[in-house]
Chains A and B, each alone.
Chain A
Amino acid sequence: MKMTDIDIKSLIKNRKKTDLQTMISMFLIKFFTYSIVAVLFLILGKIVYEGSAVINRQFLTSAPQNNMTEGGIGPAIFGTLVVVFLMILFAVPVGIFAAIYMSEYAKDNVFNRILRVTVNNLAGVPSIVFGLFGLGFFVLFIGRGYDSIFGAGLFLGKPAMLWASATLAILVLPTIIVSSIEALRAVPRNQRIASLGLGASKWQTIKNVVLPQARPGILTGVILSISRGAGETAPLLFLGCAFFLPQLPVGYLDLGLFSIPMINPAEQFMYLSYHIFILATQSTNPTITMPIQYGTTMVLISIVILLNLTAVIFRYKFRQTMNEIKRV
């Protein structure tokens, strides 16, 4: 009888101790988590508060004036849109096709394992290294090579939009591949089996059964890669980002009788993220340019957050549909 008495007492003591431990540790974990959330909102709040004062239609469309102390960021927005568009053009087909191979065709062999390791490692390469590669390979090797072979003078052998977007395309390739694979794998296996059982070929199954269902998931990856590309700065530092361009990089394609305006991808460009970097570090008069800087930051942040939110919603809906399908 005495023994159990002691046991219960020590148990109660122990219980109190663990309760206290739990309380303190859970409080700390909660505190750390919510302080991160608070910091995020502080950063966003500060940028929105300062930025919204400058943003109007003129700011979004006009070019910088008076040594960047006045005017807007029109050319930077334009440059960002064009470079990201070209990037998507380069990266999305290769990324999605590679993902289809990896999830639908590949068996568990050496090639596929190397492929998986490659994609993972490509995602881990520092972005500045992509910049080195872009300058050394695209600009100096391919661009200069083209110029000297075809005697084009200095046409492609200089930092330009084309090379910037090609480099960004490599940078976002893993993002597209990984989320496309995830989307393709989410399509239930028995649907593939059913389609094959009905006599459809493998390609017909992929085209008519798998891809239509995986489409929202794949789109999520594309959206995420757009946001990643628009926010990236380091690789573009030496790939044709300009401090200031008075004119849009538009050339006229001469067709004899008439000429049509075309975006010239062999030109330099302005970029939103690079514009923020330049204004922050090389501004001639920081107090005057500060509002413009906050405005630019707010525009970039809004673009990136809107894209990310869209991706989050897309993925959420995609997962829900997939879960429903599985339940049926």
Chain B
Amino acid sequence: MERVNDLNKSPYAKSKSKKTLLKERIIKYFFTINSLVVIIIFTLIFVFLLQEGLKALDVIAIKDFVYKTVFENGEEGKLYQWYPTSEQPRFSLIPLILGSLLISIPATLISTVFGISVGIYLSEIASIKTREFLKPIIEIFAGIPTVVLGFFMLVVVASIFQDIFNPVNRLNAFLASIGLSFIIIPIISSLTEDAFNAVPKEIRMASYALGASKFQTVFRVLIPTAMSGLSASIILGFGRAIGETMIVLMASGNAAELSFELFRSARTMTATIAAELGEVSQDSAHYFALFFIGLVLFVITFILNMVAELILNRMRNKINY
């Protein structure tokens, strides 16, 4: 006993423990700094977009982002157009926002049906063996580069579509929606599966024990219970659809028109940035307008993400109780 006490009291032990303590603290700060870098990067992106995007408001009035007033034959008219390079540039974001919605809403609807089906199949119906086989396949689907899907829509599917639907434009909003749904289905399906797996087993057992059929258990018990998870997955999928660039750039036809027709060309906010930023001169009104679109996109996806996260957090708390 005395020996141990001696050892603990010895100056060597003390100095060593101090040294390790210091080392431990330095290591902890090192890791903290690295995670701080992540926050800094994110803030930097936001601040930078804000700074460059708001410069657009110095050159272009906020009203001009909605419509441009023109006088023709003595009559006042409003033009909702995106023609940033013409002599009288028009910067209305309305056709672009409309284009984004016209493509991403159908895409989200299609993906919801298919994505939730896949999620239900994987978590409730498929045997373990089938699941182990199907899950990697769905994951591979999620990993296909968007440029490949865009190319496939542009070259192969567009021709098939032309024969079936006889669209106004060969490349149109609906084609882009179908292309988009390929990348959103895996997102929705994997989140749906998670949401179903989070439902406690007892609830399922209780439902079956009361004599409910599989249909009743899935649609009357599991889906209502997992509803928050499902809605979060749909919101996240929608956010991804709004932000996706390559597929819409290649398959939507890129005509900024004010139309609600699915079989006409449409132009999204993302495709506008992608197509025009390469040719724009720095510090021009057009350049800042593109950053403004970027800011709008950033804010939209940020809000959608936050909403989805709030819903998921509430779900987790509910299930924990």
| Residue positions of A touching B, CB distance < 8 A | 18-19, 21-22, 25-26, 28-30, 32-33, 35-37, 39-40, 43, 46-47, 93-94, 97-98, 100-102, 104-106, 114-115, 117-122, 124-133, 135-137, 140-141, 170, 173, 177, 201-203, 224, 227-228, 230-234, 237-238, 273-274, 276-277, 280-281, 290, 293, 297, 300-301, 304-305, 307-309, 312
Contacts and interface: CB of A to CB of B under 8 A. Distances in A.
B148 A276 contact: yes
Interface of B: 20, 23-24, 27-28, 30-32, 34-35, 37-39, 41-42, 44-45, 48-49, 52, 113-114, 117-118, 120-122, 125, 134, 136-141, 143-152, 154-156, 182, 185, 212-216, 218-219, 236, 239-240, 242-246, 249-250, 270, 273-274, 277-278, 282, 290-291, 294, 297-298, 301-302, 304-306, 309
B278 A238 contact: yes
Given A36-B118, A132-B49, A300 B134 contact: no
A32 B117 CA distance: 6
Contacts of A98: 31, 34-35, 37-38
A32 B151 contact: no
15 contacts: A26-B215, A29-B121, A32-B113, A32-B118, A33-B121, A46-B152, A105-B31, A124-B305, A125-B302, A137-B44, A141-B48, A237-B277, A276-B147, A300-B148, A312-B139
Contacts of B139: 308, 312
Contact of B48 (A18, A137, A228, A276): A137
Closest 3 CB pairs of A and B: A126-B243, A231-B145, A97-B34
Contacts of B270: 126, 128, 234
Given A22-B214, A98-B38, A125-B45, 20 more contacts: A18-B215, A19-B213, A25-B218, A26-B215, A33-B121, A94-B34, A97-B30, A97-B35, A115-B38, A124-B301, A124-B304, A129-B298, A133-B48, A136-B52, A136-B291, A203-B27, A234-B270, A238-B278, A297-B148, A297-B151
A277 B309 contact: no
Contacts of B146: 231, 233-234
Contacts of B41: 122, 170, 173
B142 to A, nearest CB: 8
Nearest to A127: B245
Contacts of B154: 280-281
Contacts of B219: 25
A171 to B, nearest CB: 11
Chain B residues touching A, majority SS? helix
B23 A124 contact: no
A135 B273 CA distance: 12
A150 to B, nearest CB: 21
Contacts of A227: 143
Nearest to B254: A281
B245 to A, nearest CB: 4
Contacts of A101: 31-32, 34-35
A18 B213 contact: yes
Contacts of B42: 118, 121-122
Contacts of B32: 101, 105
**Could you say which of B35, B150, B155, B156 has the most chain A C-beta atoms within 10 Å of its C-beta?**
B35
Given A128-B297, A301-B148, A36 B114 contact: yes
Contacts of B31: 97-98, 100-101, 104-105
Given A94-B38, A231-B143, A128 B274 contact: yes
Contacts of A135: 277
B276 to A, nearest CB: 10
Contacts of B277: 131-132, 135, 237-238
Contact of B49 (A118, A133, A141, A309): A133
B237 to A, nearest CB: 11
B125 A128 contact: no
Contacts of A117: 306, 309
A301 B214 CA distance: 39
Nearest to B271: A128
Contacts of B304: 124
